[in-house]
Homo-oligomer: A and B are copies of this chain.
Amino acid sequence: MNFLEERIVKDGGVKEGNVLKVDRFLNHQMDIELFNEMGKEFYKRFEGKKINKILTIEASGIGIACIVAQYFHVPVVFAKKAKSINIEGESYVADVESFTHKVKNQVIVSKKVLSPEDRVLIIDDFLANGCALLGLISIIQSAGASVEGIGIAIEKGFQPGGTVIRNLGYQLESLAIVESMDEKTGEIVFREQ
Q: Is the interface of A mostly helix, strand, loop or mixed?
A: mixed
By the criterion of a CB under 8 Å from any partner CB, how many residues of chain A are at the interface?
Answer: 29
The one of B25, B65, B67, B113 that contacts A28, using a Cβ cutoff of 8 Å: B113
Cβ contacts under 8 Å, A188 to chain B: none
Interface residues of A in 59-77 (CB under 8 A from B): 59-60, 62-63, 65-67, 69-70, 74-77
Instruction: Verify if A24 is at the interface (C-beta below 8 Å from B).
Output: yes
Asked if A76 meets B23 with Cβ closer than 8 Å, knowing A66-B66, A67-B66, the reply is no
Cβ contacts under 8 Å, A28 to chain B: 77-78, 80, 109-110, 113
Instruction: Verify if A6 is at the interface (C-beta below 8 Å from B).
Output: no
CB pair B59 A29 closer than 8 Å: no
The one of B25, B63, B66, B110 that contacts A23, using a Cβ cutoff of 8 Å: B110
CB pair A23 B75 closer than 8 Å: no
Cβ contacts under 8 Å, A183 to chain B: none
For the complex, what is the distance from the CA of A59 to the CA of B62, rounded to whole Å?
8
CB pair A112 B23 closer than 8 Å: yes
In angstroms, how far is the closest chain B Cβ from the Cβ of A113? 4
Identify the closest chain B residue to A53 (Cβ): B29
The one of B25, B35, B74, B110 that contacts A66, using a Cβ cutoff of 8 Å: B35
In angstroms, how far is the closest chain B Cβ from the Cβ of A58? 4
The one of B30, B65, B80 that contacts A78, using a Cβ cutoff of 8 Å: B30
CB pair A63 B76 closer than 8 Å: yes
For the complex, what is the distance from the CA of A112 to the CA of B24, rounded to whole Å?
7
Instruction: Verify if A47 is at the interface (C-beta below 8 Å from B).
Output: no
A binding-site residues for B, Cβ under 8 Å: 23-25, 28-32, 35, 58-60, 62-63, 65-67, 69-70, 74-78, 80, 109-110, 112-113
